[in-house]
Amino acid sequence: MSWLELFRGALDSLLERRSRSILTVLGLLIGIAAVILTVGLGEGAQAQVGSAISALGTNMLIVTPGSVSTAGVSGGLGSASTLTLADASALSNATDCPQISQVAPVSQHTASLAAGTNTWTAPVVGTTPSYLAIRDRQVVLGQPFTAGEVQAQAHVALIGTEVVQNLFPSSRTIGRTITINGVPFSVTGELNPAGSSANANEDNLVIIPISVAESLFGSRGPYAQSLSQILLSATGPTTMSAAYQEADSLLLELHQLPTPAAADFTITPQTSLLATASSVSKTMTVLLGGIAAIALLVGGIGVMNIMLVSVSERVQEIGLRKALGATPGVILRQFLIEASLLGLGGGVLGVGLGVGGSLLVPSLLHAPIVISLPAVVGAVVVAVGIGLCFGVYPAARAARLSPIEALRSA
């Protein structure tokens, strides 16, 4: 019996049991599509978290005052405000710290803003021009302020898009005056929209020279210039740990601390944030993948049931076909082709639905989704494997019976 005849016979046989065939294909289809969509959502979330964190700035290290591990001890030393402008300028010394390319001291306070009759409240960051480079922010309108303007204590400000919307809802901004805690500043530039990062709204922001922030927010004398943070950038992604070491030992020395355990500051590399966040979303992917695997299993058991339920009817059919002259090989090939056609149908439709859904989901759920090739291949292999096992194995057993034994079984 030729393969063409076998193929035609298998197709006929599937069409004769139309509802059983549709149910089988449906079971496979849903399982496969569920795996593709859930794994895709998990990987999409992972990719989104990764890009949100790298948007915070690449190769960045953040030095914050106070120590996480020895908070009690450093509190006992009498101050948590341990980062100074002197620290920042020491870190920017190229000979001491060759792997640190840029340094930006940050002094951040929330302040009330006003322009004409409009008022608003936003975080004000006092810093140097390096801040923009380290945080990967751009001035899209106007000009950033210069190191010279920092020196000269110029009253200039860069404002984020949310500040623009609230203070200048319908007019130009460059060259206009805003007041920060009542002190007038000239707006020289608008920042690019950056959305929200893990812990802050990056668009609700005013940036001014650090030298002005000192006097604006009332420092306590020339020695205690307290900084909120010092941002550092390493020369490259591979020199992050070298930069970390340089900053750590230099600050310990400057603060006259004998051991790293006594540190009154904390250095957080951006990579560790990334690692934490991506391990969280990996857990999520595994969770979603598990749910998907269960969906596939349920679909597979459905398929198995449908196939096993019809098997006694099929055993009689096998007996009859043998009585009419079919060899066990022909029977086996017929069932193999039937199961393959069902598996192929379920596989192709399932991948189609999964991929189609993946293209639709971002616009429906506002969630990113990644089509994962291993998930697609794995789901299809498992689903078709289930179809083959439960479609072919009982048939293979029945094909070994004598025609009468098979016909009698019910």
Partner 1 sequence: MSKSYGSGAAQVDALRSVDLTVERGDYLAIMGQSGSGKSTLMHILGCLDVPTSGSYRIGGADVSQLTEAALAEVRNRRVGFVFQQFHLLPRISAVRNVELPLIYGGMHPRAARRERAEEALAIVGLEDRLSHRPTELSGGQQQRVAIARALVTDPDILLADEPTGNLASDQATELLSIFDTVHDAGRTVVLITHDPDVARRARRQVRIRDGQIVSDVNKPA
What does the binding site for partner 1 look like in residue numbers (CB under 8 A)?
1, 5, 9, 12, 16-17, 316-317, 320-330, 402-405, 407
C-alpha angle 18-406-320 in degrees, rounded to nearest 5: 60
Q: What type of residue sits at position 187? A: V
Tell me the two tokens of residue 271: 């990579």
CA-wise closest residue to 73 among 246, 325, 329, 255: 255
Whole-number minimum distance, CB 4 to partner 1, in Å?
A: 10
C-alpha angle 379-380-382 in degrees, rounded to nearest 5: 65
Q: How far apart are CA 287 and CA 366, in angstroms?
A: 20
Backbone angles phi, psi at 200, to 5 degrees: -155, 155
Which residues does 180 contact at the CB level (< 8 Å), separation at least 6? 111, 112, 113, 124, 157, 206, 208, 216
CA dihedral 119→124→128→129, nearest 10 degrees, is -50
Q: Which helix (H) or strand (E) holds 9?
A: helix 3-16
Whole-number minimum distance, CB 334 to partner 1, in Å?
A: 11
Closer CB to partner 1, 66 or 328, in the complex = 328
Taking 3-state DSSP, the helix, strand and coil percentages for the chain, each rounded to the nearest 5, stand at 55, 15, 25
Q: Are 42 and 367 in contact (CB under 8 A)?
A: no
Closer CB to partner 1, 47 or 330, in the complex = 330
Tell me the two tokens of residue 357: 């859904």
Whole-number minimum distance, CB 18 to partner 1, in Å?
A: 10
| 3-class DSSP state of 108 | strand
Which residues does 329 contact at the CB level (< 8 Å), separation at least 6? none
Whole-number minimum distance, CB 7 to partner 1, in Å?
A: 13
Closer CB to partner 1, 19 or 110, in the complex = 19
How many residues are listed for the chain in this entry? 410
Closer CB to partner 1, 90 or 396, in the complex = 396
Closer CB to partner 1, 190 or 317, in the complex = 317
Closer CB to partner 1, 139 or 407, in the complex = 407
Whole-number minimum distance, CB 6 to partner 1, in Å?
A: 10
Closer CB to partner 1, 44 or 391, in the complex = 391
Closer CB to partner 1, 155 or 321, in the complex = 321
Residue 26, number of CB atoms within 10 A of its CB? 18
For the chain, count helices (H), then strands (E).
14, 10
Whole-number minimum distance, CB 323 to partner 1, in Å?
A: 5
Whole-number minimum distance, CB 327 to partner 1, in Å?
A: 4
Whole-number minimum distance, CB 329 to partner 1, in Å?
A: 8
Whole-number minimum distance, CB 410 to partner 1, in Å?
A: 11
Closer CB to partner 1, 122 or 406, in the complex = 406
Q: How far apart are CA 300 and CA 94, in angstroms?
A: 64
Whole-number minimum distance, CB 13 to partner 1, in Å?
A: 8
Closer CB to partner 1, 63 or 326, in the complex = 326
Closer CB to partner 1, 202 or 317, in the complex = 317
Backbone angles phi, psi at 258, to 5 degrees: -75, -40
Burial of 211 (0-12, 13-18, 19+ CB in 10 A): middle
Whole-number minimum distance, CB 343 to partner 1, in Å?
A: 22
| 3-class DSSP state of 224 | coil
